[in-house]
Amino acid sequence: MLDFEFFNPTRLIFGKSKHKEIGSLVKPYAKKILLHYGSGSIKRTGVYDDVVASLKENEVEFVELGGVVPNPRLSLVYEGIELCRKENIGFILAVGGGSVIDSAKAIAMGVPFDGDVWDLYVTRKEVEKVLPVATILTIPAAGSESSNSSVITNEETQLKLGYGSDKIRPAFSIINPELFVTLPEEQLAYGVCDMMSHIMERYFTNTLHTDLIDGLCESTLKTIMKNALLLKENYNNYDAWAEVSLAGNIAHNGLLGVGREGDWASHAMEHELSAIYDVPHGAGLAVVTPAWMKYVYKTNVPMFAQFAVNVMGVEGSLREPEDLALEGIKRLEEFFVKMGLPIRMPELGIDETNLELMAEMATGGNRGKESTIGKLKKLDKDDVLAIYKLAF
Amino acid sequence: MLDFEFFNPTRLIFGKSKHKEIGSLVKPYAKKILLHYGSGSIKRTGVYDDVVASLKENEVEFVELGGVVPNPRLSLVYEGIELCRKENIGFILAVGGGSVIDSAKAIAMGVPFDGDVWDLYVTRKEVEKVLPVATILTIPAAGSESSNSSVITNEETQLKLGYGSDKIRPAFSIINPELFVTLPEEQLAYGVCDMMSHIMERYFTNTLHTDLIDGLCESTLKTIMKNALLLKENYNNYDAWAEVSLAGNIAHNGLLGVGREGDWASHAMEHELSAIYDVPHGAGLAVVTPAWMKYVYKTNVPMFAQFAVNVMGVEGSLREPEDLALEGIKRLEEFFVKMGLPIRMPELGIDETNLELMAEMATGGNRGKESTIGKLKKLDKDDVLAIYKLAF
């Protein structure tokens, strides 16, 4: 086990109708807030009305900024920063999924920052001061409601970059599983793939002596798969949404990565897909992750055999660990297919045109200097290109 | 799954030599602190010297209060409160195990409290203000380094009472597994039993649809047992200490109890054993817990069968779940015996003299009004007496 620090001060408020308490929860923090949301689905589902009613009841003033889209845009972040400065706002409430929350975090960093907030994403310099952010989660997927990270797309340069700091963990987050039944079914699939990826990026490691976190990762992955399939049968299953959304939270709150080296190559490779083709993050991950596995598993066959046996339920001879490993990868693909996810590039509408460019961008091109990605196996541009090609 | 809130803002700093960084970690909080510890083992092991050197290097003044004993005493808490007030101290560093940390938390509540701190333990009223506490853990067991609870013994009245509030979670805690190799071997056994009990008190529940937390509990229990046995073979196994101590932290930081009703009858019954006979908490739990299981398992046979199969590795017919349940309890006892723990009252030097009194105290007598304990099966005085007798 490696040395580590873990700090997650986000208060998690979980359960039925909890979003209706938002006004009294916000009140101790601020009298006037920015209410940040997406394309307006919260208005169709009634969540917006619930939130506004609770804010008004508690005499919390708010200024609105909607319009966040998947792969949230830097231009809207700039707009939010301007708005908060003009309106003298010191608290941001994000009502939405990971995109809305990531956008809120970017605004929260940008308002007190003396400079261009995008530079933080490029340089990864530690931010000094951040406005407090709270969230009401409407899509269980990204885990941003408790995570220390934010991913923003600069639409001018087609760059999608992540930033991480414990300072941008939300002050509190509300997860009400009742809200998820109105999601389009593909959102469940994308969300499940995203949260599974957050675990697998941490799980696949060369670090030894990681019993506890291995076990926690494995049982969280199994919970997600079991309950995702239950939701395919009955989309109104509250308890299954509760399991999936709590698992999605734990998947990315940092706990499942302590004491071990994470990989994160699949996320880096996917970011280029969604930066250039604007595909849903979860869909891109379903395509890239199995290809990554096929390319790297020989680096650490026992790790992939353990995944096959302990997560995917593969039975077989431990004397043939490579067979186990390959069967595990196959089962993961089969699960993705069951969930209705794409597992090959053409299903995303991606051809070979930009593979070279994406491979270059993924391996440091997006930050202006060549580098490798991944830790289980360090991948250079040629490796990444080979993985992209394996996904056809 | 039940609705819940989870808030754990304790920063966990984990790894080799980390306790030597204490001075720079404390400095942002206070210029003068109370250094609280136990019977002096930290002086023999060199931890005290490391801490003092780091505090001095960082120009942090300190006043010392040692002498905390297992089942920490109210009288020393009073002494600590007086000392902090006299010396104008606003930050407490606990260097020790759960007893020292619980004592530090009590002092931290008492200093700003206008009244007798013991009343908080009796009435369980929410505390308003608490001094910040930090810890350097020297015994992995109680989980108090991240927990929201403190248990204090009033030696005048022989009452041992617990108090819980998120406000008493430490600001930060240092776990350096290197420190544990100097512990007497029985401390490992007691600690392992205590942390397993913290999980089992939460795990055994009538709440349904608890897949995720069930799985996390089960894999944490398995990790503890596996690595505890590794330590019996080689007491210098750093990675095994790392697994055990991280598991002990997670066992009691609250995560493994979210969304479910916990039981906590075994802890309540054990508190009377250690209040009257001053037995080590972990030893008392090893005696009480299997007896509790034998008495209550029929209330929820499937839960105990799941424990048997998923935690204790019992194989057998699911059509005979009661057989599985009983075999699981037997295996738990066998594990305790392997660890050198007592599993019957006489091994603790306890005879039948005080059973009635203890049963009465456990079921509300200690707080002056009759009540039941436990949630899986509500237990009254007669039930508790029967369980104590089953432990002979």
Closest alpha carbon to B63 in B85, B20, B32: B32
Measured over the CA atoms of residue B242, residue B245, residue B248 and residue B253, the dihedral's sign is negative
Q: What is the pLDDT of residue A57?
A: 98
Question: B26 and B158: one domain?
Answer: yes
Cβ-defined contact of A7 to B12 (cutoff 8 Å): yes
Q: Which domain holds residue B33?
A: 11-178
> Is A272 inside a domain boundary?
yes
- The last residue of a domain, from among B129, B150, B178: B178
Q: What is the pLDDT of residue A313?
A: 97
Question: B166 and B214: one domain?
Answer: no
pTM for the model stands at 0.97
Cβ-defined contact of A212 to B218 (cutoff 8 Å): no
All residue ranges of chain B with pLDDT < 50 are none
Question: A138 and A65: one domain?
Answer: yes
> Is B61 inside a domain boundary?
yes
Q: Which helix (H) or strand (E) holds B192?
A: helix B185-203
A24 contacts chain B (CB < 8 A): no
> Is B306 inside a domain boundary?
yes
CB pairs A-B closer than 8 Å: 109
Question: B95 and B230: one domain?
Answer: no
Question: A303 and A205: one domain?
Answer: yes
For residue B329, the one-letter residue type is I
Please name the member of B246, B255, B258 whose beta carbon is closest to the beta carbon of A259. Answer: B246
Question: A44 and A149: one domain?
Answer: yes
- The last residue of a domain, from among A163, A178, A193: A178
Question: A106 and A78: one domain?
Answer: yes
What count of other Cβ atoms lies within 10 Å of the Cβ of residue B17? 11
> Is B4 inside a domain boundary?
no
Q: What is the pLDDT of residue B256?
A: 98
> Is B3 inside a domain boundary?
no
Cβ-defined contact of B1 to A216 (cutoff 8 Å): no
Specify the CATH number for the domain of residue A383.
1.20.1090.10
Please name the member of B1, B15, B247 whose beta carbon is closest to the beta carbon of A212. Answer: B247
Closest alpha carbon to A349 in A267, A291, A274: A274
Q: What is the pLDDT of residues A183-227, one digit of tens each?
A: 999 999 999 999 999 999 999 999 999 999 999 999 999 999 999
> Crossing angle, helix A381-390 and helix A281-296, to 10 degrees?
110
Please name the member of A2, A211, A223 whose beta carbon is closest to the beta carbon of B215. Answer: A223
Confidence of residue A160 (pLDDT cuts 50, 70, 90): confident
Cα–Cα distances in angstroms (integers) from residue A93 to residues A29, A96, A134, A330, B192, in the given order? 11, 10, 5, 41, 42
Question: A222 and A332: one domain?
Answer: yes
B242 contacts chain A (CB < 8 A): yes
Three-class DSSP category at A372: coil
Question: B139 and B230: one domain?
Answer: no
Q: What is the pLDDT of residue B381?
A: 97
Buried b (16+ CB within 10 A) or exposed e, B57-87: eeebebbebbbbebbbbbebbbebbebbeee
Q: What is the pLDDT of residue A275?
A: 87
> Is A370 inside a domain boundary?
yes
Q: What is the pLDDT of residues A290-335, one digit of tens each?
A: 999 999 999 999 999 999 999 999 999 989 999 999 999 999 999 9
Buried b (16+ CB within 10 A) or exposed e, A358-387: bbbbbbbbbeeeeeebbbbbebebebbbeb
Cα angle value A215/A220/A226 (rounded, 5°): 125
How distant is the Cα of B163 from the closest Cα of chain A, in angstroms? 21
Cα–Cα distances in angstroms (integers) from residue A191 to residues A217, A228, B7, in the given order? 17, 10, 24
Cα–Cα distances in angstroms (integers) from residue B363 to residues A188, B262, B360, B367, in the given order? 47, 17, 5, 9
Q: Distance (Å, rounded) from C-alpha A10 to C-alpha A18? A: 16
Measured over the CA atoms of residue B160, residue B166, residue B170 and residue B173, the dihedral's sign is positive
> Is A242 inside a domain boundary?
yes
Cβ-defined contact of A211 to B218 (cutoff 8 Å): no
> Is A5 inside a domain boundary?
no
Tokens of B157: 């009245």
Question: A59 and A39: one domain?
Answer: yes
The residue count of chain B comes to: 392
Q: What is the pLDDT of residue B139?
A: 97
Instruction: HSE, CB side, 13 Å, CA atoms: give it for residue B386.
Output: 10
Q: What is the pLDDT of residues A279-300, one digit of tens each?
A: 999 999 999 999 999 999 999 9
Question: A67 and A115: one domain?
Answer: yes
A209 contacts chain B (CB < 8 A): yes
Is the per-residue pLDDT at A47 higher than 90? yes
Report the number of distinct structural domains present in chain B: 2
- The last residue of a domain, from among B160, B178, B196: B178
- Inter-residue contact A266 to A197 (CB < 8 Å): yes
Question: A172 and A217: one domain?
Answer: no
